Structure 1
Amino acid sequence: MELNRQLIWKLTVIGLILLVLWRVISEPDTISRVLQYTFQLLTPVIMGIAIALLLNTVLSYMEERFSLKRYQGLLIVYVTFIGLLVISAVTLFPRIYSSVASLIEELPFYIRQLDGFVGQLNAFLQDYNETIAQTLDFKRFEERYSGWVETAVLSSVSYVSSFTMTLINFLIGIVISIYLLKDKEVFARMFKRLLYALFPVATAKTTIDIFQEMDYIFKRYIIGKSLDCLIIGVMAVIGLLIIRAPYALLLGVIIGILNFIPYVGPLLGMIPAFIITYFYDPFTAVLVLVFIFLLQQFDGLWLGPKILGDSVGITPFWVITSIIIGGSLFGLVGMFISVPVTAMIQVILSRLIDYRLSRKNLNELL
């Protein structure tokens, strides 16, 4: 009877695996859709876990340093955390909103400027190569792109809706993080009991060690990168104000946020800053381009390594690959979280490879 039950269980698992494989092969986008839906559904929980991981270090330090009770530490940490968010929103958001509104109002000006530039390019091509000019066909540019303003307005409405949903998820995430930190010892004990109940003792210990290492990598990377982006954002705002670039605050915030994405982020921040400034003054745009390039070199060669060190321990190839995969699956959010997630996966694979090699007595040879 016991043998029949085991056979039925194995056949059921194999059947489910084959069903999933068939689904993936017949509809290649299935995994992407399932992952996106799962990610959207669990966004508040993921945010809550992330906030709890970030604030847990501060909470633990305050409890040990000042002998605070749990509710006292939670009150101080969250009042400070929410207070900093409110102060940032009150001081920065109105100015950023004003810059965005002004930018949308001046969009027709940009279109006319771009139309003039394309006209000059068309005339240049006609003078030097009639065939290329006919192939590119830049005529009637303004008619072709006359719907840009309407598209920009619709995109703005979409962004406002997305921002509202993100804000709601963030608020729910804060509530979840409070309960996680309040009973963190309970959750840790439940997790350990579950591991020891399901797996051999050695496997359970190794799993706990892996999670502790991933927790260390995640906190070190997120906190260090946040500090790095804050410094770069402030330096960008100050530099752009000195250069007298338009929308210095908005562009500085964009540069600071996108700097969170390694390698790709600095380029993404450089492009809008150059384009927006170019329509006002090409010479200033060149100064902006040179300034941002030097700022990113300073960050990549000195500031970033000084703050982060080798916090994730993965090569640039895997960093770029993870950013591409994360961006294709989850958009901009996927690009932000791809590096720490890849670092965590690397920890698991590294432990698994070491274990398998040790079983074969190949660690010393490899």
Structure 2
Amino acid sequence: MKLADWIGFFCLILALLILWQFRQIVLLIFTAVILAIALNSLVRGLQRFRLNRSLAVIIALSLVVLFGTLFFSLVMPPFLTQFQQLIELAPRGFNQFIRWVDNLLENPPLWFPQQLEFRVPTIPEIAQQVGPLAQNVLGNFFAFFSNSLTTLLQLLLVIVLTLMFLSNPVAYRTVFVRLFPSFYRRRADEILSGCETVLLQWMAGIVINSIFIASLSAIGLLILGIPFVFAHALLAGVFNFIPNLGPAASVVFPVSVALLDTPWKALTVIILYIFIQNLESYWFSPMIMQKQVSLLPAATLTAQIFFARFFGFLGLVLALPLAVVSKVWIEEAIMKDILDQWQSQRTTATSFIDTSPEPVTDFEPDPQLFPHDSLSPLENESDFSQ
């Protein structure tokens, strides 16, 4: 390697180290990008009705505000009421389970093993054992939410960045693409288009999955006669945004309430949730979302552990979109553009290198990738000044 190559390599390492120090801010920026992509999809849908972009953005934001107002005024009050009652009943359900097990050990049936030394731990004992582990796993979670003012400022930052990205996404995209070497800018722009596509597919898929799981949970719990059906169903839908760990967490509250009745009803609730998750995984998702980006279960779980370990609770929530974007960049930039092009001798041209004698200094998005009704072209900047 030449001296210039070594200098460039060390500058890259230094930039990555600096970026790592600001990883929480980078994660907030990524959150704003996801929200901007979702809103931009709605804006492009409105632009099909021959609306200019500024008016389409205003209408899209108005629809979001209207939906949020209806949600918080109609859905949240009954949910908060039922959820508060759930918090009070959950320990009672666990204590009921402990008493049932103690009674079973004192008066065992004929088929139960005799002389079995077994004692169910109490809630304080469980808390003492689980406390250090929970503190280690969720330490970043409490650090992230401990300061209400910091949380409010972070939320405000995400909202402001989302509006900025939504107002003129091509300008910010162009700045990001120009961070790449001149010969790779057009290829990087194509990869970004692929990332946008898979993120939209992920968002559509997770919303449809959550509605499906919430609906089936409500129907099943209503048939079983479990109280607070609305709160349980809404929690099941929300927790579905966190794969693997979310469904397991959503079953805790209905099982705790069912334990107040009989342990066998709690068992039926567990069976119901297992049935719903398998139905969603092996039938609903493959049938409805055939184009949704797929990740191996082990890769999904590994991504959750990795991002939760280094980025905290927000990293756990965004583990799947981060994994999806990483998958696209690994497949396109590393697999196709480097490993698949690997040869013993240097070739004169490749499919992704611009071999023109002059470097590309002024990048403009490909019009075939960004038609006039897509992603806010630079020609529409005048709409915001009117």
Structure 2 Cα separation of the partners of residues 225 and 341 of structure 1: 14
Q: Normalized against structure 1, the TM-score is what?
A: 0.74
CA 1:306–1:267: 2 relative to 1, 3 Å: same
Please state if 1:281 is matched with 2:265. Answer: no
Question: Which amino acid is the alignment partner of residue 29 of structure 2?
Answer: V
Structure 2 residue aligned with 1:110: 93
Structure 1 residue aligned with 2:360: none
Structure 2 residue aligned with 1:98: 81
Question: Which amino acid is the alignment partner of residue 49 of structure 1?
Answer: V
Equivalent runs, 1:315-354 vs 2, <5 Å: 315-351=296-332, 352-354=334-336
How far the C-alpha of 1:254 sits from its partner, in A, is 1.6
How far the C-alpha of 1:330 sits from its partner, in A, is 3.8
Structure 1 residue aligned with 2:65: 82
Structure 1 residue aligned with 2:166: 181
CA 1:86–1:40: 2 relative to 1, 3 Å: farther
* 1:146-169 deviation line (CA, Å, top 9, x unaligned): 99xxxxxxx9xx799678865664
CA 1:260–1:343: 2 relative to 1, 3 Å: same
1:301 to 282, 303, 311: 282
Structure number with greater CO (CA < 8 Å, separation at least 6) is 2
Structure 2 Cα separation of the partners of residues 91 and 60 of structure 1: 29
Structure 1 residue aligned with 2:210: 229
CA 1:346–1:41: 2 relative to 1, 3 Å: closer
Q: Normalized against structure 2, the TM-score is what?
A: 0.71
Q: Check conservation: 2:96, 2:259, Cα contact below 8 A.
A: no
Question: Which amino acid is the alignment partner of residue 345 of structure 1?
Answer: S
* 1:170-202 deviation line (CA, Å, top 9, x unaligned): 45423321221112232233344x24xx5132x
Q: Check conservation: 1:54, 1:219, Cα contact below 8 A.
A: yes
- Larger mean CA deviation between 210-219 and 93-102 belongs to 93-102
1:59 to 24, 43, 47: 43
How far the C-alpha of 1:259 sits from its partner, in A, is 1.8
How far the C-alpha of 1:98 sits from its partner, in A, is 0.9
Q: Check conservation: 2:307, 2:319, Cα contact below 8 A.
A: yes
Structure 2 Cα separation of the partners of residues 90 and 295 of structure 1: 29
Question: Which amino acid is the alignment partner of residue 60 of structure 1?
Answer: R
Structure 1 residue aligned with 2:56: 73
Question: Which amino acid is the alignment partner of residue 38 of structure 2?
Answer: L
CA 1:286–1:144: 2 relative to 1, 3 Å: closer
Q: Check conservation: 2:202, 2:321, Cα contact below 8 A.
A: yes
Question: Which amino acid is the alignment partner of residue 46 of structure 1?
Answer: F
Q: Check conservation: 1:51, 1:177, Cα contact below 8 A.
A: yes
- Larger mean CA deviation between 322-331 and 164-173 belongs to 164-173
The structure carrying a bigger helix percent of its residues is 1
Q: Check conservation: 1:46, 1:173, Cα contact below 8 A.
A: no
1:199 to 175, 178, 181: 181
Aligned residues: percent identity? 18
Q: Check conservation: 2:29, 2:158, Cα contact below 8 A.
A: yes
Structure 2 Cα separation of the partners of residues 164 and 241 of structure 1: 40
Structure 2 Cα separation of the partners of residues 309 and 87 of structure 1: 32
How many pairs are equivalent? 326
- Larger mean CA deviation between 6-15 and 103-112 belongs to 6-15
Structure 1 Cα separation of the partners of residues 202 and 254 of structure 2: 27
Structure 1 Cα separation of the partners of residues 113 and 67 of structure 2: 59
How far the C-alpha of 1:245 sits from its partner, in A, is 0.7
Q: Check conservation: 2:43, 2:57, Cα contact below 8 A.
A: yes
Q: Check conservation: 2:201, 2:291, Cα contact below 8 A.
A: no
CA 1:339–1:297: 2 relative to 1, 3 Å: same
How far the C-alpha of 1:10 sits from its partner, in A, is 6.6
How far the C-alpha of 1:232 sits from its partner, in A, is 1.7
- Larger mean CA deviation between 263-272 and 210-219 belongs to 263-272
Q: Check conservation: 1:45, 1:173, Cα contact below 8 A.
A: yes
Question: Which amino acid is the alignment partner of residue 100 of structure 1?
Answer: F
Structure 2 Cα separation of the partners of residues 360 and 93 of structure 1: 60
Structure 2 residue aligned with 1:48: 32
User: Structure 2: which 5+ runs fail to align?
Assistant: 129-137, 346-386
CA 1:165–1:251: 2 relative to 1, 3 Å: farther
Structure 2 residue aligned with 1:120: 103
How far the C-alpha of 1:101 sits from its partner, in A, is 1.9
- Larger mean CA deviation between 41-50 and 178-187 belongs to 41-50
Structure 1 Cα separation of the partners of residues 321 and 35 of structure 2: 15
Structure 1 Cα separation of the partners of residues 30 and 9 of structure 2: 34
Tell me the SS of whatever aligns to 1:106: helix
How far the C-alpha of 1:348 sits from its partner, in A, is 1.9
User: Structure 1: which 5+ runs fail to align?
Assistant: 21-30, 148-154
CA 1:102–1:167: 2 relative to 1, 3 Å: farther
Structure 2 residue aligned with 1:253: 234
Question: Which amino acid is the alignment partner of residue 188 of structure 1?
Answer: R
CA 1:44–1:249: 2 relative to 1, 3 Å: same
